[in-house]
Structure 1
């Protein structure tokens, strides 16, 4: 549950799935050995935070819609030990605290390309005495996580601990990471999250009466990453903290950030997700005005136009901007947070009134459930979006002046209010309709994927996709039974209203049907990213094509796009041949000089793994106990 502390374990089999244990054990041993060589003392604890892969739901989190990511095996490890007193000259490379109450934090990395550093901080303060490096350094993420968690600790400190115990004089840290940089797998979020957890543990607030739970750690990591200039909607950090083995997380952002763990189905044969990095990195500072920032503005303009069409009164100069999800909730009468003063009139737009006579539904008609929400509302809204934003010529886009005319506002004032960062649309036109078409169709695909998982979920009671029961005191994480208790696929409960029903002919293979439906949704997502959102690139297109040609049931971009990686759904028996084909047809042609390790980092199979965890080394000397 969200208020529970981050787990503390002392065995790797409590962190990784059996398939990952073989090589992870060897890796951890190397980290522990290097720590001993570097510092002459054993590792006491390790803060571990994984990267994530977004299985489906691209570029819709900042529009307020839900996503389905999972943690991966690749992660960031922060091994650390503390000393109540300084080194006293044992190691001249380690500085002493400048005065009592200060803590010296020494940061080193297993990779030589990351230069070592050290900083001083008061661990009982709010982090104001700690500054980020003037020039970006890999330590910036650790320092940001430290500042974020210290500020939170002071903010939530009880009067009973108004004079907290001083921190240790020395903290020794060794960082090891396997999340490839620039791959769209959130290496920065993993680093920031692991850093916050390490400082939280050293400060003594991970558990106990005044513990800081997982939900707070997630929010701290989100805010911390913004300190280094990364605006995050919360998906990456939530996946890193809350993920479970063999589960996807259904993460919602409105009215508040929450997540439910949904078990992946058992199939025969089993399946894996294969990640392939294009090794193309989009320079966000140079391309944001054409890519990411431009898409945000196009979605903002679309939300304003849709609000006007639906007769929902929105002040475009008020912050934060209305999101598509907020408009959906307001239109369908659910309570949503205020994104500007939205007021809903009692009447629907006149365009919705049918021109001809209506006919009563036949008794055999398949009607939506009484409490229909989620996907049903999105499908209804998709038609309204087409009326509001679509039509002849709308795929070519609209200028500032054309949008302002429809909104009946001044074009210059609109641009000033909406484009808070530089944007440069091609030919001066914003492709509002095609971007909206992607956002709403992708949001529907997320719900359909969720329906597939819910229909095969091993729960003690029936769980309908759009209304998973929550008790009044239940947290946002859906408790599911252990993987060993999952039912056989053919007998999984079905939702009669599901558009992705698993009902198949008696002679059909239900595993094959299920995987094909999952793959179809992934392929449709990729097509939408290519055609409507235009966030792909030739290398991503090529990798997805190679993947499908060589056995992938589905393949799509994961992450923001314009570079980064693809994720493919592959049956496990096909994985070795699949990896070989991708190496031959993509990497050997485009990057023939890659080493074996670089190839392994670029393309690998993975399954959903555990979220963030703190590991305690039982073999550490008690003289060095935290």
Structure 2
């Protein structure tokens, strides 16, 4: 199947501040709570509050950094950032989820703190501030969250987006949302994660009641209406997978494996001369009539299905190791065997599933969407190897009680599952899931509600004047 031309969906690009009365009741109360907490902590009211939603990816896992599309939706839980300018030339930030405050200077170059520190996300946001305001003023921030960390729901990117938009708004800077999405995606690499741009784009560009198909390089979006009569259900596996911590190495390893696959495919398509492919999706520009499966078949002619090291791969391609490896230090030693073909197979097949999922949503065919989501989960488990025991048990439990398309969502290595549930069955679904999954994993008497919830797709980041 060829790549489909997409028209960019229309939305209000403005980040101009709204009034508190413009918000719906739950979000209004969360903003009021953040204002009260800010006053208690700093002794004054904030100037503004920014609400940046997390996201759940319906399908299109690990495709964004490979240049292929994704299909996420914004959830109705968010990072809330209350902010006010201060006289000191630094950023002081406190968080309800962190015991230690974050402090950041406003002088380039910013130096990262140790991996896993939440202050690195604040510094990533400051990078964007410095791009637009070379000599900014300092600010005091308070961060609160209704979004669980380490659940694969993009709490880290929502933190960067929420913090960055708050700092920009304090300086009366309101760049276009699509421009900011690319700026924040680049800035978050300060944390050390080689991520794509999905999380930042959906937090900024989401429209209520829709999933958002996002294509990259350049960034293009299309709103796809979510079917009425259903809820998206998110369920935490209780295994945290934070990309600033232990999961970062595993995530970056997958990026590296795809990069090697891309460079090998560039040799294959160029018939010995390496084509200038930066990402796997770039291959489609050279053979636009090919179905996506054919690129995998072409690579399989030179890359064995078993594990293969970069050195062995270079030998099979009849090129030097230096010609195969991308510039910079290798993420994985050249002698270490890697499942490169399996990783590439997942990416191309997952990209095709995104196309098919958009078509299913347009038709209102929820059953077809569910089958695609289940196929995505199997590929994430078998080809990309980002599932874990708890996720597999959670998917099995959800499937056994009638969930449509249960699958892991986000980077994997823990985190959450996503599935569709008929509106009338949501409470029964959660009651059964509490009994079959959460009761034996949570302390006696613990409430499972913070770990599972249903929603309809929400809107993107909002700035509220106080």
Q: Do the two structures share a fold, i.e. TM-score over 0.5?
A: yes
Give the TM-score normalised by structure 2. 0.88
**1:175 aligns to 2:184 (yes or no):** no
Q: How many matched pairs? A: 456
Is 1:224–2:224 an aligned residue pair? no
Q: Please tell me whether the aligned partners of residues 149 and 220 of structure 1 are also in contact (alpha carbons under 8 angstroms).
A: no
- Tell me if the contact between 1:3 and 1:213 (Cα under 8 Å) persists in the aligned partners: no
Asked if 1 retains the 8 angstrom alpha-carbon contact of 2:236 and 2:416, the reply is yes
User: Judging changes above 3 Å, is the alpha-carbon distance between structure 1 residues 150 and 277 closer, same or farther for their aligned structure 2 residues?
Assistant: same
- CA apart distance, 1:35: 2.3
1:449-460 alignment, distance < 5 Å: 449-455=357-363
Aligned: 1:187 with 2:163? no
Corresponding position of 1:213? 176
Matched, 1:33 2:36: yes
Aligned to 2:284: 328
Matched residue, 2:239: 280
Say if 1:581 and 1:418 are closer, same or farther in 2 by CA, change over 3 A. Answer: farther
Question: Which of 292, 297, 307 is 1:381 aligned to?
Answer: 292
* 1:433 positional shift: 2.7
Shift of 1:562: 1.7
Please tell me whether the aligned partners of residues 204 and 461 of structure 2 are also in contact (alpha carbons under 8 angstroms): yes
The residue aligned with 1:615 is: 464
- The equivalent residue for 2:81 is 78
SS in 1 for 2:458: coil
Give matches, 1:186-585, under 5 Å.
186-206=154-174, 212-254=175-217, 256-266=218-228, 270-282=229-241, 291-311=250-270, 314-315=273-274, 322-332=278-288, 377=289, 380-389=291-300, 394-410=304-320, 412-413=321-322, 416-417=325-326, 420-423=329-332, 428-455=336-363, 514-585=365-436
Identify if the C-alpha distance between structure 1 residues 292 and 43 changes in structure 2 by more than 3 Å, giving closer, same or farther. Answer: closer
CA deviations 1:162-204 (Å, max 9, x no partner) are: xx9x84xx74432111221111111111111111111111112
- Counterpart-to-counterpart distance in 1, 2:273 and 2:71: 30
- Contact 2:55 2:73 (C-alpha < 8 Å) held by counterparts: yes
Task: Give the alignment's TM-score, normalised by structure 1.
Answer: 0.66
User: Any conservation in 1 of the 2:125–2:187 contact (CA below 8 Å)?
Assistant: yes
Question: C-alpha root-mean-square deviation of aligned residues, in Å?
Answer: 3.0
The partner residue of 2:442 within 591, 614, 620 is 591
SS at structure 1 position matched to 2:40: helix
SS in 2 for 1:115: coil
Cα deviation, 1:3-28, whole Å, max 9, x if unaligned, reads 932142114654x5xxxx3x434333
Where does the alignment leave 5 or more consecutive residues of structure 2 unmatched? 1-9
State the shift of 1:299 in Å.
2.2
1:590 match: secondary structure: coil
User: What's the secondary structure of 2:94's corresponding residue?
Assistant: strand
Contact 2:157 2:199 in 1 (8 A): yes
Question: What is the deviation of 1:282?
Answer: 4.3
Q: Structure 2 vs 1, CA of residues 11 and 313 (structure 1 numbering), >3 Å: closer, same or farther? A: farther
Q: Which structure 1 segments of 5+ residues have no match?
A: 87-96, 98-102, 122-126, 155-163, 207-211, 333-376, 457-513, 618-626
Q: Aligned match of 2:19 in 5, 10, 14? A: 10
Of the structure 1 ranges 443-452 and 171-180, higher mean CA displacement relative to structure 2 is found in 171-180
- For residues 304 and 537 of structure 1, what CA distance do their matches in structure 2 show? 29
Give secondary structure in 2 for the equivalent of 1:8.
Answer: coil
SS in 2 for 1:534: coil
- In structure 2, C-alpha distance between the alignment counterparts of 1:400 and 1:235, rounded to whole Å: 29
Verify the 8 A CA contact 2:73 2:210 in the aligned structure 1.
yes
Max Rg structure: 1
CA distance in 1, matches of 2:287, 2:423: 44
Measure the CA separation in 2 of the matches of 1:594 and 1:64. Answer: 45
Shift in CA distance, 404/134, structure 1 to aligned 2, threshold 3 Å: closer
Q: Deviations over 1:82-134 (max 9, x none)?
A: 46xx6xxxxxxxxxx4xxxxx454423334x433355564xxxxx42765546
The alignment partner of 2:454 has SS state of strand
Match of 1:109 in 2: 95
Q: Check the 8 A contact 1:114/1:138 in 2, yes or no.
A: no
* TM superposition shift of 1:530: 1.6
Distance 1:399 1:39, change over 3 A: closer
